[in-house]
Structure 1
Amino acid sequence: MDRLTNTIRPYAWGSTTAIPELLGTPPTGEPQAELWFGAHPGAPSHLERGPLDQVIAADPVRELGPSTVRRHGPHLPFLLKLLAAGTPVSLQVHPDLDQAKTGHAAEERAGIPFTAPHRNYKDANHKPELICALTPFDGLCGFRRPAETADLIAGLGVDSLKPYADLLRAHPEEAALREVLTAVLTADRTAIAETVAETAAAATRIGGRYTVYADIARHYPGDPGVIAALLLNHIRLQPGEAIYLSAGVPHTYLHGLGVEIMANSDNVLRCGLTPKHIDVPELLRVVRFAPTDAAVLRPEADVDGAEVYDTPATEFRLSRHVLAPDSAPRDLTSAGPQILLCTTGRVTTGELTLGPGDSVFVPAGEKTEISGADNGAGTLFRATVPD
């Protein structure tokens, strides 16, 4: 197995302290939003043998195993991250596989540069994802039922919001959600900025369940995404709890530190809470306008002592191992590739001892055992490909 050197992504919404505190390094004063563990070409991890994407490309079958290559091609199918939100992440959705392939091909034919700010599809892959909280973690995920949102909006007492509440009550649920989101995103920017300001003032004054929207508006004054955020379920995860996001589900992460895993993609279509490009027609094609319950996912015990986060994703499987000091070795040998990430304490694997933030890449079939180190308990997250 190979110890990984990984890249910090300094997105503006990132916390300045959460990842440094986990790593035990001094803050730089700059946002540190994500730490990537994987082979995505945007920021591949490095081994002594070279960048992980190049190592895999040189011998995919050896590194990934024949089954993974057969099912997913000659690329690591997942991307693991530490995500640290200090302010709200852009409100966004991800395409399904067909939408990603079609959109990527169309932008390639059009000759849109990969780095162009209006480029939607950086690759031809979908991006199902799972985030597991390491600290208390807040987010918005999936559409709330329109009637409940209409009541929430009415409670603010903002006259310019009343037409949205009326639409939510007057039409079938999916049609109502589509009409309201379309109206918000295509509204006159001056008029919607005034509505956002009035909404923020009312939310600040009332407090309670409205506090989250006042905070969003404080970070994104005048942004239509503040009104779009009212349509979504508010979730609060405790450490160890997770949420799974499939294609087309609008979401944003508001605050907290978590382990995130996804298919190996960077495709994002934004709805708001960002100065970046918003392609409204493409967004409306991708969003699934169906109310959903924001179901909290809790790990299930497995026979090897792991706690597994079960999802329908075929590209990844995330599990957690909580190890006591000097615990008996657990055999994690797998026919596919693995990335192991320590988040607390110390964990021993092979001849290596991992501390918080340390990670290793394990090629397919390589003998792998983990145990608690002799100086304390440890927690290790394991990213693999489902059998």
Structure 2
Amino acid sequence: MDLLDNTVKTYAWGSVTAIPELLGTEPTGEPQAELWMGAHPGAPSRVDRGAGPVSLAEVIAADPAAELGGATAERFGPRLPFLLKLLAAQSPLSLQVHPDRTQAEAGYADEERRGVPADAPHRTYKDANHKPELICALTPFEGLCGFRPAAATADLLDGLGVDQLKPYADLLRARPESGALREVFTAVLTADPAAVADTAAHAAEAADRLATTRPDHPHAAACAAYASLARHYPGDPGVVAAMLLNHVRLAPGEALFLGAGVPHAYLHGLGVEIMANSDNVLRCGLTPKHVDVPELLRIVRFEAGDPGVLRPAPEQGGEERYATPIDEFRLSRYVLTGGPGDPLPTGAAQILLCTGGRVTLRAEDGGELVLDPGRSAYVPAGERIVPAGPGTLFRATTAG
């Protein structure tokens, strides 16, 4: 097993203090948005096996079957198929959606054929992979996820008393739900910029007023979030588009799975995030970056429903698993109360992350690593590891 040396990403929306507080380090004054753990080419973790630090991506590429496990290497190729992160949002991320694998393959091939430069600001597909992801809250966490049922959104928009929102509410009531969501979403993203900026401003004022004066209203928390979006992104069409989405609050330990085509945005909080290795993001708003509306409308799934908050389900050996319908990753949690726990499964490579207390990892050969909060380790396939607490350990590996 190897202690990981990881890279912090300093995106503007990140928290200055959340990740340093978990790590027990001094803040740098910069926003520390994400701590990456894995072998993603954008910022691979580093390990030291006695000859100095080397990229985890290079270690895996040198012997994929031994590092990943034969079944994983055969199924996903010679690279770790997931990326684990600590994500710390102080302000909202962009409203976005991810393609499924077939859409990503077709979109990437098309842009390659047309010669769109990989670093072009209008490039949509960075690779040919899908990007399902799971976010698990470490602190109270707030986000937007999936479309709210059309009738409930119509009631919300009418309750704000904004004339510009009435046509959208009427459409949501007059059409079948999927078609109505598509029509309203399209109308918002293709509206005259000045007109939609005015609508966003009035809608945000009304939302702020409702949240402030009627805190017991069923949409008060959502309205407070929409008003906050407008303060961060004044005049952005995404402020109005966000009003179509479910507002979600996660308690520590709860999670959300984001599948293909589901519009979402993280708003605030610290969490553990895991995703398939991909950079494919189609933005819907709340961003100065390129928004490809025609391609976006092809990818978004206009299906309303409950966002589906996940809670970990007990498995054998003290594992608490967050069930997801994909194979590239499996995230689980171990709450270790004292002495040694059961050995961890050994069939595939895994990354182990401590988020509380202090966790000791003991290998079969007598080796030992101690993980304090925010510290992580890479364990190749076949290595038998026994964790001991007290502490909380997240385990990331492939499904199966």
- Measured against the shorter chain, the TM-score band is over 0.9
Structure 1 unmatched runs, 5+: none
The TM-score, its normalising length taken from structure 2, stands at: 0.94
CA distance in 1 between counterparts of 2:191 and 2:11 reads 28
Name 1:150's counterpart in structure 2: 154
Equivalent positions of 1:19-168 (< 5 A) are: 19-49=19-49, 50-168=54-172
SS at match of 1:331: coil
SS at match of 1:155: helix
Percent identity reads 68
Q: Give the Å deviation of 1:333.
A: 3.7
Q: Give the Å deviation of 1:384.
A: 0.9
Which 4+ runs in 1 deviate beyond 4 A? Answer: none
Name 2:237's counterpart in structure 1: 224
For residue 181 of structure 2, the aligned residue among 177, 184, 194 is 177
CA distance in 2 between counterparts of 1:184 and 1:242 reads 29
Q: Give the Å deviation of 1:167.
A: 1.0
The one-letter code sitting in structure 2 at the alignment partner of 1:175 is G
Name 2:17's counterpart in structure 1: 17
CA distance in 2 between counterparts of 1:105 and 1:359 reads 36
CA distance in 1 between counterparts of 2:341 and 2:247 reads 40
Q: Deviations over 1:206-249 (max 9, x none)?
A: 21412111111111110000000000001110000111111000
For residue 260 of structure 2, the aligned residue among 247, 253, 268 is 247
Q: Deviations over 1:191-220 (max 9, x none)?
A: 111111111111122214121111111111
CA distance in 1 between counterparts of 2:241 and 2:264 reads 10
CA distance in 1 between counterparts of 2:47 and 2:121 reads 31
Name 2:374's counterpart in structure 1: 357
Paired residues of 1:142 and 1:294 also in contact (CA < 8 A): yes
Using the TM superposition, name which of 285-294 and 199-208 deviates more. Answer: 199-208
Q: Give the Å deviation of 1:58.
A: 1.3
Does residue 1:281 correspond to 2:294, yes or no?
yes
CA distance in 1 between counterparts of 2:10 and 2:348 reads 31
Structure 2 unmatched runs, 5+: 363-367
Name 2:347's counterpart in structure 1: 335
Paired residues of 1:333 and 1:369 also in contact (CA < 8 A): no
Paired residues of 1:127 and 1:247 also in contact (CA < 8 A): yes
Paired residues of 2:72 and 2:348 also in contact (CA < 8 A): yes
CA distance in 2 between counterparts of 1:5 and 1:108 reads 34
SS at match of 1:304: helix
The TM-score, its normalising length taken from structure 1, stands at: 0.97
Corresponding pairs, count: 382
The one-letter code sitting in structure 2 at the alignment partner of 1:190 is A
Q: Give the Å deviation of 1:72.
A: 1.2
Q: Give the Å deviation of 1:9.
A: 1.2
CA distance in 2 between counterparts of 1:191 and 1:255 reads 29
